[in-house]
């Protein structure tokens, strides 16, 4: 495959230089843990545990969350199994650390090695996984080919492919088909992804449903929630959740349009990437808004117009603060986050036309009258006004979303059935089964 050959040659020649620059930028942006940078080069200071090792990889926090229940169930089936989780973001690493402390002390975490052949092979030489579970859409050529060469079964779990990715991949369909068919099993989370995989030439595709629909509601610290509720009091408020560049400007416009209709209005803005907080803060204060900043420990007071929620892992907290939420990434051309995270915590949801990340969920919510669709800032302002003014509307939207949510559950059990033939069995479990 010429494309794969050129990819590998290009990485061998120029990869270390460009990757080092990329890592320096990520460290400066607090997107990497400098104390654990060796793990990016496939180097670990942790020993491989004895017994069969199941390796899960998820790029970010959402992917990691989606498989936690599967890992717990696989461990309960066979206590001799060992588990490795690799991730590529600080939020995901922090999530795993919290779960290790709570109920998964057996789970080993590493930062994912970057896709350079020496580092990939160093990682595989050390960990020697019995099976590799890649969550959603993180497909790296060198890692994929190295696993296939070593006969390590590869499984895509809860696979997701947006239209933008499909349109990119279909331009190099032959090498992509080769990579996809290195997988023993491709488990798609929705029909759109399954169709894209099929059109790219993939085989062994299964469609058990979306694991994220089985997830528990996002967590929140009650003590922090109590502090915020006390600070906000009875003020009307709404949340612009997981916003992207341009959407903070829109949130400010909505605030202006609604401030005269809702006395004491508080707008909560939670950017998808909190490292953008400096730019957002400068823009908002430059426009004259009175802003309080969560990461500085500030609480909104009576004069605060916009509360900038620029912290990691607290979306569960902010979804609990009100009943009106706009899903960011849907007015900016990004794709949005899982809207069920908001509806499960009692929010009426408004979203825009860019739904590429969760097309089926957004579409079904709209069809089932479980969310409000908007196309621009004035429509968003009107939708938020209705959500803050009409509690019966919110109740109806949330109930309809819950009905859809409940009807789509069960993906975890169906996924476990699909992956069962590929799961290694410890020697102790094998002896017990043979008794």
pLDDT tens, position by position, 234-262:
999 999 999 999 999 999 999 999 999 99
Calculate mean pLDDT across residues 406-412.
93
Alpha helices in 29-151, H assignment, sequence order: 61-66, 68-77, 90-102, 117-127, 141-149
pLDDT band, residue 91 (cuts 50/70/90):
confident
pLDDT at 25 over 90: no
Confidence of residue 312 (pLDDT cuts 50, 70, 90): confident
pTM: 0.81
Rounded Cα gap, residues 20 and 27, in angstroms = 10
d(CA 67, CA 59): 12
CA distance 250 to 378: 10
Q: How far apart are CA 62 and CA 46, in angstroms?
A: 25
Nearest-angstrom CA–CA distance, 202 and 196: 9
Residue 62 has pLDDT above 90, yes or no: no
**SS3 (DSSP) at 268:** strand
User: From CA 91, how far away is CA 231, in angstroms rounded?
Assistant: 27
Least confident of 10-19, 82-91, 121-130, 325-334: 10-19
255-297: pLDDT as tens digits: 999 999 999 999 999 999 898 999 999 999 999 999 999 999 9
Question: What residues have CB less than 8 Å from 30, skipping those under 6 apart?
Answer: 90, 275
The strand pairing partners of 58, in sequence order, are 87
What integer pLDDT is reported at residue 383 of this predicted model?
Answer: 98
pLDDT of residue 23: 80
DSSP calls for 344-400: TTT-EEEE-S--TTSHHHHHHHHHTT-SEE-SSHHHHHHHHHHHHH-HHHHHHHHHH
Q: What are the angstrom distances between the C-alpha of 251 and each of 145, 244, 332?
A: 45, 11, 12
Domains of the chain: 2-209+410-434 (3.40.50.11720), 222-407 (3.40.50.2000)
Helix axes 141-149, 2-28, angle to 10 degrees: 120
Q: Do 187 and 415 form a contact (C-beta atoms < 8 A)?
A: yes
Beta strand ranges found along 104-218 (DSSP E): 107-111, 131-135, 154-159, 185-188, 205-206
Its sign, for the CA torsion 115, 116, 122, 128, is: positive
Task: Kindly give, in sequence order, each residue whose CB lies less than 8 Å from that of residue 227, ignoring residues fewer than 6 positions away.
Answer: 299
Q: How confident is the model at residue 435 (pLDDT cuts 50, 70, 90)?
A: low
**Residue 264 is inside which H or E element, if any?**
none
pLDDT at residue 161 tops 70: yes
Chain-centroid distance, C-alpha 216: 14
Please give the pLDDT value at position 13: 64
Please say if the pLDDT value at position 434 is more than 90: no
Average pLDDT of every residue of the chain: 93
């Amino acid at each position: 495959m010429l494309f794969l050959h050129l990819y590998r040659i290009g990485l061998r020649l120029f990869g270390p230089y460009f990757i080092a620059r990329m890592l320096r930028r990520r460290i400066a942006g607090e997107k990497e843990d400098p104390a654990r940078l060796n793990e990016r080069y496939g180097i670990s200071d942790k020993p491989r545990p004895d017994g069969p090792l199941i390796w899960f990889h998820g790029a970010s926090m959402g992917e990691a969350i989606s498989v936690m229940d599967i890992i717990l169930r696989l461990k309960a089936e066979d206590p001799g199994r060992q588990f490795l989780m690799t991730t590529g973001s600080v939020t995901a690493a922090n999530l795993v650390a919290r779960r290790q402390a709570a109920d998964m002390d057996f789970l080993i975490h590493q930062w994912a090695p970057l896709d350079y052949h020496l580092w990939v092979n160093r990682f595989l030489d050390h960990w020697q996984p019995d099976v590799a579970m890649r969550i959603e859409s993180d497909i790296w050529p060198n890692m994929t080919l190295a696993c296939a060469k070593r006969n390590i079964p590869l499984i895509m779990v809860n696979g997701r492919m947006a239209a933008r990715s499909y349109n990119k991949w279909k331009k190099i369909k032959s090498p992509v088909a080769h990579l996809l068919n290195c997988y023993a099993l491709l488990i798609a989370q929705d029909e759109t992804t399954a169709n894209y995989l099929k059109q790219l030439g993939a085989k062994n595709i299964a469609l058990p449903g979306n694991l994220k629909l089985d997830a528990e509601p996002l967590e929140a610290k009650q003590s922090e929630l109590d502090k915020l509720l006390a600070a906000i009091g009875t003020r009307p408020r709404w949340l612009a959740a997981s916003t992207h560049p341009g959407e903070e400007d829109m949130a400010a416009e909505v605030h202006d349009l609604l401030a005269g209709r809702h006395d004491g209005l508080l707008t909560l803005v939670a950017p998808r990437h909190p490292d953008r907080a400096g730019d957002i803060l400068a823009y908002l204060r430059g426009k004259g808004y009175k802003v309080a900043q969560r990461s500085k420990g500030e609480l909104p007071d009576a004069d605060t117009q916009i509360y900038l929620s620029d912290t990691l892992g607290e979306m569960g907290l902010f979804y609990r603060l009100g009943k009106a939420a706009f899903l960011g990434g849907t007015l900016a051309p990004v794709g949005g986050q899982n809207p069920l995270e908001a509806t499960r915590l009692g929010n009426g949801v408004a979203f825009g036309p860019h739904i590429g990340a969760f097309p089926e969920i957004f579409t079904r919510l709209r069809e089932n009258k479980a969310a409000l669709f908007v196309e621009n800032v004035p429509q968003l302002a009107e939708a938020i006004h209705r959500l803050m003014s009409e509690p019966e509307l919110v109740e109806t939207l949330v109930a309809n979303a819950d009905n859809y949510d409940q009807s789509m559950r069960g993906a975890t059990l169906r996924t476990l059935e699909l992956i069962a033939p590929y799961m290694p069995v410890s020697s102790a479990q094998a002896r017990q089964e043979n008794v």
